[in-house]
């Protein structure tokens, strides 16, 4: 199959595009199944297989038109094939540890700009850098994730304690404050009940979830 990048220079415009290659067909996005292409990674040539490749194609001469999106799909497949962390996995690991890309760069001995390029997907990390990242993430595994059972108990306890606070707080208040608390408390109790249920069902695993949820409420 022939490929080109000719149309991409014109910037995004609505499909169908006229085919500049054969001058007869129209170009629209299609899904090509089991697409194979060759990619150079760290000086070696790899055959990358994409079960489903979304790409614009001419309905007459079958030419494929490659843009940034095609390149990204191929990079995702290459990382998958070589068992390298995807950009969003790097981002998630940093987020779980409240770490910056600068922290990670310092920890594994690369420039911050390099980590930034891995995170945006513009550059694919070497196997050695990938292993260094994995090793570092393994070593710094957040505790709440590591002990889901303990976190579940803490979560349930927090929900029960907050409920107790509400029980003693509401009758002890007076005036406008008490009115406000009375108006609020059913909503709060419902929220706490739901929270305790979620911890019991294992849908929530730590204090991080609790904090995230409380932040969403405010």
User: Is residue 60 involved in binding Zn ion (CB under 5 A)?
Assistant: yes
* Shortest Å, Cβ 59 to Zn ion: 8
Are the CB atoms for 195 and 213 separated by under 8 Å?
A: yes
Cα–Cα distance for residue pair 214/92, rounded to 1 Å: 21
User: Is residue 85 involved in binding Zn ion (CB under 5 A)?
Assistant: no
Out of 48, 50, 55, 58, the only residue in the binding site for Zn ion (CB under 5 A) is 58
Q: What is the maximal distance between C-alpha atoms in the chain?
A: 82
**Site map (CB under 5 A) of Zn ion, residues 20-49, x = contact:** -xx--x------------------------
User: Is residue 55 involved in binding Zn ion (CB under 5 A)?
Assistant: no
User: Is residue 90 involved in binding Zn ion (CB under 5 A)?
Assistant: no
* Shortest Å, Cβ 41 to Zn ion: 31
3 or 116: CB nearest Zn ion: 3
Q: Which of the ranges 56-64, 95-103, 178-186, 193-201 carries the binding residues for Zn ion, by CB under 5 A?
A: 56-64
| Segment 100 to 139, residues that bind Zn ion, using CB under 5 A | none
Out of 30, 32, 39, 61, the only residue in the binding site for Zn ion (CB under 5 A) is 61
CB atoms within 10 A of CB 193: 12
Cα–Cα distance for residue pair 124/50, rounded to 1 Å: 17
Q: Which of the ranges 15-23, 81-89, 164-172, 201-209 carries the binding residues for Zn ion, by CB under 5 A?
A: 15-23
60 or 140: CB nearest Zn ion: 60
User: Is residue 70 involved in binding Zn ion (CB under 5 A)?
Assistant: no
**CA 31 to each of CA 56, 95, 116: distance values in angstroms, whole numbers, following the listed order:** 8, 33, 31
Using the CB atoms, write b or e for 5-27: b if 16+ within 10 Å.
eebeeeeeeeeebebebeeebeb
Cα–Cα distance for residue pair 103/189, rounded to 1 Å: 40
Q: Which of the ranges 44-52, 57-65, 122-130, 182-190 carries the binding residues for Zn ion, by CB under 5 A?
A: 57-65
Q: Which residues are CB-contacts of 137 (< 8 A; sequence separation ≥ 6)?
A: 93, 97
Among candidate residues 199, 210, 191, the one with its CA nearest the CA of residue 148: 199
22 or 108: CB nearest Zn ion: 22
17 or 41: CB nearest Zn ion: 17
Cα–Cα distance for residue pair 208/213, rounded to 1 Å: 9
Residue numbers at the binding site for Zn ion (CB under 5 A): 19, 21-22, 25, 58, 60-61
């Amino acid at each position: 199959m022939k490929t080109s990048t000719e149309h991409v220079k014109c910037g995004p415009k609505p499909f169908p595009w006229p085919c500049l290659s054969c001058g007869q067909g129209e170009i629209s996005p299609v899904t090509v199944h089991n697409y194979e292409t060759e990619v150079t990674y760290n000086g070696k040539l790899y055959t990358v297989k994409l079960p489903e490749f979304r790409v614009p194609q001419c309905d007459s001469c079958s030419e494929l038109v490659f843009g940034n999106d095609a390149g990204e799909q191929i990079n995702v497949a290459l990382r998958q094939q070589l068992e390298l962390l995807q950009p969003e996995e790097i981002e998630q690991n940093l987020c779980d540890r409240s770490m910056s890309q600068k922290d990670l760069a310092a920890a594994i001995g690369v420039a911050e700009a390099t980590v930034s390029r891995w995170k945006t997907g513009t550059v694919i990390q070497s196997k050695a850098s990938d292993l260094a990242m994995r090793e570092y993430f393994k070593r710094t595994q957040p505790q709440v994730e590591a002990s889901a059972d303990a976190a579940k108990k803490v979560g349930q306890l927090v929900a029960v304690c907050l409920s107790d606070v509400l029980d003693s707080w509401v009758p002890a208040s007076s005036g406008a404050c008490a009115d406000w608390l009375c108006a609020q408390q059913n909503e709060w109790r419902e929220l706490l009940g739901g929270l305790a249920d979620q911890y019991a069902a294992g849908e929530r695993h730590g204090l991080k979830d609790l904090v995230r949820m409380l932040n969403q409420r405010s």
